[in-house]
Amino acid sequence: MTQTHNPAVPEHELLTRKSFLRTLTAPDWLFALFTAAAALFAQIQAAHHMDVYETVILWSSAVSAVLLGWFFKPMRWFVPGALLAAYGAMQLYGGNIARTETFFLKYFLSSQSAIMWQCAFVFFALAAYTAGGIVAKRQHRDTNTLLGMGTAFAWVSAFAGFTGLLVRWHESYLLRPDAGHIPVSNLYEVFILFLVITALMYLYYEGRFAVQKLGGFVFTFMAGVVCFVLWYSFSREAHTIQPLIPALQSWWMKIHVPANFVGYGAFCIAAMLGVAELLAIRNEKNNRKSWLPPSQVIEEIMYKAIAVGFLFFTLATILGALWAADAWGRYWSWDPKETWAFIVWLNYAVWLHLRLVAGWRGRILAWWAIVGLFVTAFAFVGVNMFLSGLHSYGTL
């Protein structure tokens, strides 16, 4: 019997599809099976809390997690591990929030303790990456034990933060069974999400391009964010779980906010890579042996980060417009938050245009990415602090 295929699909695409499927191993399929089983278990356990939209989001997230695990192999242990740790915390709670004082919850698995571990390991990762970079510079080597420790600490920080968010989700239902919610409703929670996403994105690029020596740049910025989180937590008690205000009681929030922070994380990584590229360019211009990767490699990673961030930020902006239409009856109102979101979008649209169409390279794009960090930071935090509008519920 002769084998046939759809003539509408080019033969080279069929070969690409076959080769991708052939790359999937038994652990890949086991990961997919585990993720599907976890989603089914979550739906059965929380059916009384979920409507049709949340069910769609749950299974869409499961499919996305499988595809991400197939694309980025470490996610095959990261996602199941965090789910199992969070489920262990749920069992320790046993439906009673007062059990937070038990040993493992108090010091490891409650949301606040897990998030504190995340913050600590950000600093551990920064110290290891920085020391490893100094050693690499002296020994003229691309990697060493300290850099490897930095990578390990970065994974632990992301794992602890993601686990903490999952447990915090459960804790919100223990505190208020009728008002539990996904933990992306205030600045404290989204900063934790931001730290998780930024760490994971950096770790992907680190593994993809073998650039461990750039970890010190990215985690310097993340350490600054952790300092803000700690101040915000202790001075404003922002870590306490509060009920959702009416404006946020929407399923749109569950997809708009995470997409937004993939964009924010990517743009912040790009800014730190811009600093690294400027140093690399200076060393290359002065014919000095650089301990950093070549400036062209750094710029390529920066470009990929901005491209991914721009895609997700565009998606988040569209979702935000749909949410606005559902909540306020209009898609766009030039509210300060919306205006600055457009400025951020336009800034990186121009950056991509200049690189892809005009062919710009080098120092000017690095500086542009660095300045873009301040534009993004003002859109993220500054608008909440200094301007008022329809999004004023996000104030500090």
Any domain includes 204: yes
Angle at 372 between CA 388 and CA 152, to 5 degrees: 105
Asked whether residue 261 falls in the same domain as residue 321, the answer is yes
Query: Cα separation of 133 and 140, whole Å?
Result: 10
- Domains: count for the chain: 2
Per-residue pLDDT, 147: 95
Q: Over the range 48-65, which residues count as b (16 or more CB within 10 Å of their CB) and which as e? A: eebeeeeeebbeebbeeb
Asked whether residue 322 falls in the same domain as residue 190, the answer is no
**Containing structural domain, residue 57:** 51-244
Any domain includes 33: no
The residue from 199, 220, 244 where one domain ends is 244
The residue from 244, 270, 303 where one domain ends is 244
Taking a C-beta distance cutoff of 8 angstroms, is the pair 347, 365 a contact? no
Question: pTM for this structure?
Answer: 0.90
Q: What is the largest CA-CA distance in the chain?
A: 74
Asked whether residue 297 falls in the same domain as residue 226, the answer is no
Query: Cα separation of 394 and 177, whole Å?
Result: 24
Asked whether residue 110 falls in the same domain as residue 197, the answer is yes
Asked whether residue 187 falls in the same domain as residue 63, the answer is yes
Any domain includes 24: no
Closest CA to 142 of 17, 370, 21, 294: 294
Tell me whether residue 89 is exposed, middle or buried, using C-beta atoms within 10 angstroms of its C-beta: 0 to 12, 13 to 18, 19 or more: buried
Asked whether residue 261 falls in the same domain as residue 324, the answer is yes
**pLDDT tens, N- to C-terminus, the chain (396 residues):** 444 444 444 554 444 555 677 788 999 999 999 999 999 998 888 777 777 877 888 888 899 999 999 999 999 999 999 999 999 999 999 989 989 889 999 999 999 999 999 999 999 999 999 999 999 888 777 778 999 999 999 999 999 999 999 999 999 989 887 777 888 888 899 999 999 999 999 999 999 999 999 999 999 999 999 999 999 888 888 888 888 877 777 778 888 889 999 999 999 999 999 999 999 999 988 888 778 899 999 999 999 999 999 999 999 999 999 888 887 888 888 888 889 999 999 999 999 999 999 999 989 999 999 999 999 999 888 887 776 655 555 555
3-state DSSP helix/strand/coil percent for the chain, to nearest 5?
Answer: 80, 0, 20
Query: Cα separation of 315 and 300, whole Å?
Result: 23
The CA distances from residue 33 to 63, 69, 77, 157, 159, in Å, are: 11, 12, 13, 26, 21
Query: Cα separation of 180 and 365, whole Å?
Result: 44
